[in-house]
A and B are shown apart, each in its own frame.
Chain A
């Protein structure tokens, strides 16, 4: 088992150890998490970065939903639906053999916004559920681009009184780490490093 947020910093590594310890106890939870079961309080994470390239160039990478193999940990992508919102889907085939399925929810070239919803949850990989991202590009000074990666999700535990391994803080830390890693990978891809 490999947690998606491994790619990220130390605070998440602690989370991961906690999580590995509890994983067996939560094995019975997995079928439940496969449905869109979630509680009453969506969480939000907003991360931004500046990329040294004009918005058009960044948008060309971000909006290419079907070829997002620059995402960290992704070996290859299988896509369908011709980048049409609410139809286009992609399977991110991960280097560790795992698979993440995502639906394109928005692709607005004029406003440079891309929306992606993760289909099906695997709290062993990411201790959060019902993850939706909204990526927005804005022109920044000096011909650069500000990329904002916003997420909406719920904690891993679908009802009240979560165990410490699946509480809000764990979900927030994991998604924050994930989005920082996504942004770093995007920056590296666009800037050619």
Chain B
């Protein structure tokens, strides 16, 4: 019984799958750390002269320039931005080098990984496994699994606090949002609605939004008191949620009503509903635009974030799910579940910049981009 098939052009490409990956990761890290250590020396005010006291200032400059060039050359592969793609069918995490648009490592995760959140500083990645009922904490630089934290129910949506100290996990089946304090491991939960799916933390760290899928609503959680302070009715079956940079607006992709709800977080109400393609799943924001992945439409709808006017609809791969944006906002990345691809799109020109093969069934549900060091 053949359950899935890798498209033929890449059928022979080998993606490392087991212990060997960790080795790839660790050697890469040693390399990276070495470079960083050298940089500290090189930037010091009085570098040790290479050839005694006669070493001229000019030659010193040249040497430093050469060193700087070498530093860039040697370190760039280690500092490229990466995408951490949960490949649910493959039961693994595909790490894609975004400068090459190539999967460079595959970490076995288990438990059908779905949700992903890379911490803002890029140090860690958090992956939910709804079938395994755990959260995996990954050292993002070494690509090593730090620990697995049991989370009862069906951990799905995940987001990290801006300081990286807490992780919020939506329990799909338990009508609750779980907060995990990473230092102590302590967990507490707050009640939300039915089939809690996507989670977003406002950049100002004050508010958390949860998509209560089967209630057609968002729960608004006050982060300081960790209490549910409001529910906001949105379209039908909200799944992915996103909050903008100023923490003023939230957006939900409503799978069954084919629209996006724009929510004013201070007023706690929907201020606009944007009609998009068929089965919108997630929302991302870049270059003053709203990007929406449409599963059945095989497309990404683009709106102007200010005027809310439609800008364009882009054809992407098959069954797009996760969406995320590069740190500089220049590119939007789309995980295509059916065709096992990650696409890079220019957020300004809306041109497709590249495609990468991923593990089977990329969900990439969450903030999956790790910016360059």
Contact B154 A159 (CB under 8 A): yes
Please name the residue on chain A nearest to B256 by beta carbon. A36
Q: Does any Cβ of A come within 8 Å of B337's Cβ?
A: yes
Q: Which of B119-169 contact A (CB under 8 A)?
A: 130-131, 133, 153-154, 156
Instruction: Report if A40-B130 is in contact (Cβ < 8 Å); known contacts: A45-B3, A152-B337, A159-B173.
Output: yes
How far apart sit A91 and B89, CA to CA, in the bound complex (Å)? 31
Contact A160 B1 (CB under 8 A): no
How far apart sit A115 and B296, CA to CA, in the bound complex (Å)? 8
Contact A44 B361 (CB under 8 A): yes
Q: What distance in Å separates the Cβ of B165 from its nearest Cβ neighbour in chain A?
A: 26
Q: What distance in Å separates the Cβ of A25 from its nearest Cβ neighbour in chain B?
A: 20
Instruction: Report if A134-B153 is in contact (Cβ < 8 Å); known contacts: A41-B131, A160-B131.
Output: no
Q: Among A41, A134, A152, point to the contact of B130 (Cβ < 8 A).
A: A41
Contact A134 B172 (CB under 8 A): no
- What are the residues of chain B within 8 A of A45 when measuring CB–CB? 3-4
Q: What distance in Å separates the Cβ of A105 from its nearest Cβ neighbour in chain B?
A: 4
How far apart sit A43 and B131, CA to CA, in the bound complex (Å)? 13
How far apart sit A173 and B2, CA to CA, in the bound complex (Å)? 10
How far apart sit A150 and B318, CA to CA, in the bound complex (Å)? 11
Contact A40 B131 (CB under 8 A): yes
Size of A's binding interface in residues, CB under 8 A: 28
Q: Does any Cβ of B come within 8 Å of A81's Cβ?
A: no
Contact B172 A39 (CB under 8 A): yes
Contact A160 B3 (CB under 8 A): no
Contact A40 B112 (CB under 8 A): yes
- What are the residues of chain B within 8 A of A106 when measuring CB–CB? 296, 298
Contact A37 B154 (CB under 8 A): no
How far apart sit A48 and B7, CA to CA, in the bound complex (Å)? 12
Q: Does any Cβ of A come within 8 Å of B319's Cβ?
A: yes
How far apart sit A36 and B257, CA to CA, in the bound complex (Å)? 13
- What are the residues of chain A within 8 A of B2 when measuring CB–CB? 46-47
Please name the residue on chain A nearest to B172 by beta carbon. A40
Q: What distance in Å separates the Cβ of B277 from its nearest Cβ neighbour in chain A?
A: 9
Please name the residue on chain B nearest to A150 by beta carbon. B338
Q: Which of B84-130 contact A (CB under 8 A)?
A: 88-89, 112, 114, 130
- What are the residues of chain B within 8 A of A48 when measuring CB–CB? 5
Q: What distance in Å separates the Cβ of A44 from its nearest Cβ neighbour in chain B?
A: 5
- What are the residues of chain A within 8 A of B156 when measuring CB–CB? 40
How far apart sit A134 and B278, CA to CA, in the bound complex (Å)? 15
Please name the residue on chain B nearest to A108 by beta carbon. B298
- What are the residues of chain A within 8 A of B360 when measuring CB–CB? 44
Query: Interface readout for A139-183 with B: 1 if CB under 8 Å, 0 if not?
Result: 000000000101010000001100000000000110010000000
- What are the residues of chain B within 8 A of A115 when measuring CB–CB? 296
Contact A160 B319 (CB under 8 A): no
Contact A160 B296 (CB under 8 A): no
Contact B112 A41 (CB under 8 A): yes
Q: Does any Cβ of A come within 8 Å of B312's Cβ?
A: no
- What are the residues of chain B within 8 A of A85 when measuring CB–CB? 278
Instruction: Identify the 7 closest CB pairs spanning chains A and B, nearest first.
Output: A40-B130, A41-B112, A105-B296, A46-B5, A159-B173, A40-B156, A46-B4
Q: 18 additional contacts, CB 8 Å, given A105-B278, A176-B3?
A: A36-B237, A37-B214, A39-B154, A39-B172, A40-B154, A40-B172, A41-B88, A41-B112, A41-B114, A46-B2, A86-B278, A105-B296, A106-B296, A115-B296, A152-B319, A159-B172, A160-B130, A172-B1
